[in-house]
Amino acid sequence: MEERLQKVLAEAGIASRRKCEEIITAGRVQINGEVVKTLGVKVDPELDEIQVDGRYINQQTKIYVLLNKPKGVITSSADPGGRKVVTDFLPGIKERVYPVGRLDYDTEGLLLLTNDGEFAHLLTHPKHHVPRTYQATVKGVPHGTILDKLRNGIQLEDGMTSPAEVEYADVNPQKNESIIQITIYEGRNRQVRRMFEAVSFPVTRLRRIKFGPLFLQGVPRGKYRHLTPAEVKELKEEALSTHNIQKGQ
């Protein structure tokens, strides 16, 4: 059955569909030995020989993984400097998977990995607003007015943040620190850390504990588990439902 080339590449785990379009127009794809740069070309993955950067692609079984990422690990599949990467913690998974979004080097917790480019694109596209919940340990004890600022939106160098859900999880007066639970609906770079820095309460530890309907509970640090088909379906449905809410449907 013929399908659009960028869709076939995404389903083979090459990258998201949009990134696959860039790969095609850059001349990195060959079909039956000929370079193709035109978007919309249709191929039959069972009959056509498709190469990306000289390597043949294969239609792979879809893999969906929830990893409890440790601190001090790079959210990547490789690092030229030889530092540990998240895929080092996936023994037994032979398929090439890549992270859905990112967690900073010093941030730990729930990270999804997959070889399903369409799934990754759905969850990370800004229009879908899938909620992400973090536990942030901060220096000091922010008052309610400070938390209200975070709830209403903070002006950062790349614009105003969307409203967030914020509440105390714990307070330790002896250490002069607090644990704040915050749920955001965006995926900007280092967003949670920058939000707290903007209100002068720097983060000393950050852990993602929830992504959409998925919780971190039950997965030890540095370990992973496969998502169930029901969980994958629920994630997709939540991403689409948040998009519809945003559109006012």
* Same domain (yes/no): 168, 228: no
- Phi and psi, residue 179, nearest 5°: -110, 120
Three-state SS for 112? strand
* Same domain (yes/no): 119, 226: yes
Across 59-95, b (16+ Cβ under 10 Å) vs e yields eeebbbbbbbbeeebbbeeeeeeeeebbbebbeeeee
Inform me whether the pLDDT recorded for 246 exceeds 60: no
Residue 242: the pLDDT is 61
* Same domain (yes/no): 184, 143: yes
d(CA 32, CA 25): 17
Residue 100: the pLDDT is 92
Give the pLDDT band of residue 158 (cuts 50, 70, 90).
Answer: very high
Say which residue, 61 or 2, is predicted with more confidence.
2
* Same domain (yes/no): 85, 28: no
Last residue of a domain, one of 40, 56, 72: 56
Over residues 121-139, mean pLDDT? 90
Over residues 129-136, mean pLDDT? 94
Over residues 59-66, mean pLDDT? 84
Domain that holds residue 75: 64-126+218-246
Say which residue, 125 or 204, is predicted with more confidence.
204
Inform me whether the pLDDT recorded for 72 exceeds 60: yes
Tell me the two tokens of residue 109.
């917790």
Over residues 23-45, mean pLDDT? 91
Across 185-220, b (16+ Cβ under 10 Å) vs e yields bebeeebbbbbbeebebebeebbbbbbbebebeebe
Inform me whether the pLDDT recorded for 31 exceeds 70: yes
Which CA distances in Å does 75 have to 85, 101, 135? 6, 9, 19
Over residues 80-109, mean pLDDT? 92
* Same domain (yes/no): 203, 154: yes
* Same domain (yes/no): 79, 147: no
Residue 59: the pLDDT is 59
* Same domain (yes/no): 17, 33: yes
Exactly one of 104, 106, 116, 170 is catalytic; name it.
Answer: 104
**Spatial contact of 65 and 113, defined as CB atoms under 8 Å apart:** yes
Say which residue, 241 or 138, is predicted with more confidence.
138
Instruction: Scan for tokens 């009959």, then name that residue.
Output: 47
Q: How many domains does the chain have?
A: 3
Percent of residues, the chain, with pLDDT higher than 70: 95
Known catalytic residue at 79: no
* Same domain (yes/no): 136, 122: no
Three-state SS for 219? coil
Give the pLDDT band of residue 126 (cuts 50, 70, 90).
Answer: confident
Tell me the two tokens of residue 81.
């400097």
Q: Which stretch of 8-17, 100-109, 158-167, 229-238 has the lowest confidence by average pLDDT?
A: 8-17
What CATH number corresponds to the domain at position 188?
Answer: 3.30.70.1560
Per-residue pLDDT tens over the stretch 194-232: 999 999 999 999 999 999 999 999 999 999 999 999 999
Say which residue, 68 or 126, is predicted with more confidence.
68
Inform me whether the pLDDT recorded for 39 exceeds 70: yes
- Mean pLDDT estimate for the chain: 90
Last residue of a domain, one of 56, 77, 100: 56
* Same domain (yes/no): 136, 206: yes
